[in-house]
Structure 1
Amino acid sequence: MPAAAQTFFEQPILNSPYRKPSRQWELDLQGRPTDRILDTRRRAELISAIPAPKKRSRAEQAEMVYEAGHGLSTDVQESNPTPIINELRQEIETWRSLPTPEQWRVSPVTANLLRHWRALQQDASRPIRPFFCQLEAVETAIWLAEVAPKAGGRGRRFLDWLSEANASATTPGAPDLFRVALKLATGAGKTTVMAMLIAWQAINIARSRNSKLLSRSFLRIAPGITIRDRLRVLLPNDPDMVRRINCDKHS
C-alpha cells in the first residue's frame, strides 16, 4: 500500500463535527487522497469512487452523462449543481457572520431559534448539541425561505435556479410541488435536521397563523417500517423524544 494511502487511513478525520471544516485531504485526479493536507474546506464536487474506465472512443464518451434527475441531464448539457451549491455556501457563510439579529432579515421567532441553536453548538459542556452540517442545512433552508426573497438579484438567482430545476424535474401528478433537497452524509443526523425544520415552521406558524409561506402539517415518508419506527422520535410525546428533552434540560 502506498505511503500516501497509509497516512490518510491513519487519520482520515481532520475536523471537529461542531465547527466549519477548515482542513481537507488533497485528492488526485482520480479522487484518491494524497498525503497532502490543505487548510481549506472542500468544495462541493461530483466525485465518483468507481475506478477510471478503459479508454473509449469519443462517440462512446458522449453518451456517458451524469443523470441527477428526471431529464435534467442530456447528452447536450449535463446538469451539475455543484457550482451554485458552492456559491450558496458562501452566501450562507456571509449571512451567518452578520453580528446582530436585525441584520439577519428573519422573523423574531426564527432569530430566537438561530440564537438558541448556535449557542447549543458552541457549548461543549452539553451532551447533545447540533453538528455544524446540521445547523448549516437548517440555515440554508431558512435563508432560501426568509432571506433570499428580500436579497434582490442576489437572492433571486438561487430561487430562479430552484424554480428551473423543479420545472425540469416535474413529477406526473404533482406539478405544483416545489422541492428543495438537503443532502447530508450517512450518520450526519438527518432526523435531527427534520426536527429542527419542523420546529422552525411550527413555532413560526403559531405566531403568524395567516402566513401562506409556513406549514401547519408535516408529512413523513419513509422507505420501510424500520425507518418509519425510527422517525417516531419526531413526535413530541414519543418516549425517546421525552428522554432527550429531559437530558438536555438537566445538562
Structure 2
Amino acid sequence: MAKSIDKLIINSPHEEPKQHWFYERENRDFYIKEGRRPAGYVMATPNSKVFDDPGIFVEIDTVNQIRPRVKAWREAGYPGVTGITKRLLDHWQDPEERKDRRFFFCQLEAIETIIWLSEAPAADKVGIDIKGDGGEIERWCSKMATGSGKTIIMAMIIAWNFLNKVTNPTDARFSKYALVVAPGLTVKSRLQVLYPTNENNYYEEFNIVPASLMDKLRLGKIAIHNWHTLAWDTQDKIDTKIEKGY
C-alpha cells in the first residue's frame, strides 16, 4: 500500500495494459492491481460534505462489455471485415511498416472498436445496446486522453470509409464524404492534415494508407469547418421550439 504513486507509468503504450494503480477509497491508499482498469468515472459521494471526498467509481458497462469482444475478434483475425479493411488493419500493425512509428494500443483499439461495430458478425454483438438520441444519425464516441493521437484516429476513420466506399460503391456502411467539426480556429488549422492533398497529410506522414491506395483515397471529399459556421439556432429559438413541442 502507498499513500502516493512513485511511478505513474507502469505499462507499455504499445500493448494492452497488464496492470493499473488501484485507489482503495476506504483507506485512501494506492496499490498496483493486476489486469486492465475497467472503464468508468468517479462521481462525488452523495451527500458528502468533506473536502477530500474520495468519490465513487462508476463503471461504464457498455464499454466493459465491448472490450473483451473486440479483443476476441482481433485474436480471431477480424472475421467479417472487407478485403480493404483487412488490408488496412494488417498495414497498421505490420512490423515492417511500423519500424519508426508504431501506433499506440489505445489508437489501434479505438479504430478496431469502430470497425467492429460496423463489420463484425452480428452474433458477436448480441446484447450490445448503444443508446441513441432518436435521430437518424448513429452516434459513436471514441474517448481518448489528451496527447494520445486523436487526429491519427480521425485519419484512420476517414481512410477506412473512403477506401471501402470507392472500392465497393454500393456498400451503404461506408461513405466517401466526411465532415469534420472543429471546436476552434486553432484546432481547425491543425486539422488541415486530414486533407489527402495537404503537403503534410497524416495518411503519408504516419503511413496510415499504403502508397498504392493514395489515389483512391483522394477520390473522397472532406469538409473541415469550425463549429460556429453551422448556424446553430439561438437559445431563444430553441426555447420557442421546445414550447411548441417541436
TM-score, normalization by structure 1: 0.71
Query: In structure 2, how many angstroms separate the alpha carbons of the residues matched to 1:31 and 1:22?
Result: 24
Separation of aligned partners in 2, 1:184 and 1:223: 16
**CA deviation after TM superposition for structure 1 residue 240, in Å:** 2.2
Contact map agreement 2:19 2:33 (CA 8 A) in 1: yes
How far did 1:196 drift? Answer: 0.4
Q: Which runs of 5+ in 1 are unaligned?
A: 56-79
Would you say 1:178 and 2:177 are equivalent positions? no
Three-state SS of the structure 1 residue aligned to 2:180 is: coil
Could you report, residue by residue, the CA deviation over 1:143-180 in whole angstroms, capped at 9, with x for unpaired residues?
00011xx333x41422xx12xx21xx34xxxx211111
**What is the identity, as a one-letter code, of the residue corresponding to 1:4?**
K
The residue aligned with 1:245 is: 204
Number of aligned residues = 201
Equivalent position of 1:26 in the other structure: 22
Identity %: 32
Counterpart residue number, 1:217: 177
Partner deviation per Cα, 1:174-204 (whole Å, 9 max, x = no partner): x211111111111111110010011111111
* Partner of residue 240, structure 2: none
In 2, are the aligned partners of 1:120 and 1:130 still within 8 Å (CA)?
no
Which residue of structure 1 aligns with residue 217 of structure 2?
A: none
Query: Of residues 51, 54, 63 in structure 1, which corresponds to 2:49?
Result: 54
| Displacement of 1:32 | 6.0
Residue equivalent to 2:54: none
What TM-score results when the alignment is normalised by the length of structure 2? 0.73
SS in 1 for 2:93: helix
4+ residue segments displaced more than 4 Å: 30-33, 120-123, 246-249
Match of 2:157 in 1: 197
* SS, match of residue 184 in structure 1: coil
Q: d(CA) in 1 for partners of 2:27 and 2:198? A: 43
Q: CA deviation at 1:46?
A: 1.7
Q: Distance between the aligned counterparts of 1:97 and 1:191, measured in 2?
A: 26
Structure with greater strand share of residues: 2
> Which structure is higher in helix share?
1
RMSD: 2.9
Structure 1 contact 121–132 (Cα < 8 Å) conserved: no
Question: Per-residue deviation at 1:53?
Answer: 2.9
Say whether 1:106 aligns with 2:102.
Answer: no
Aligned ranges 1:142-157 → 2 under 5 Å: 142-147=115-120, 150-152=121-123, 154-157=124-127
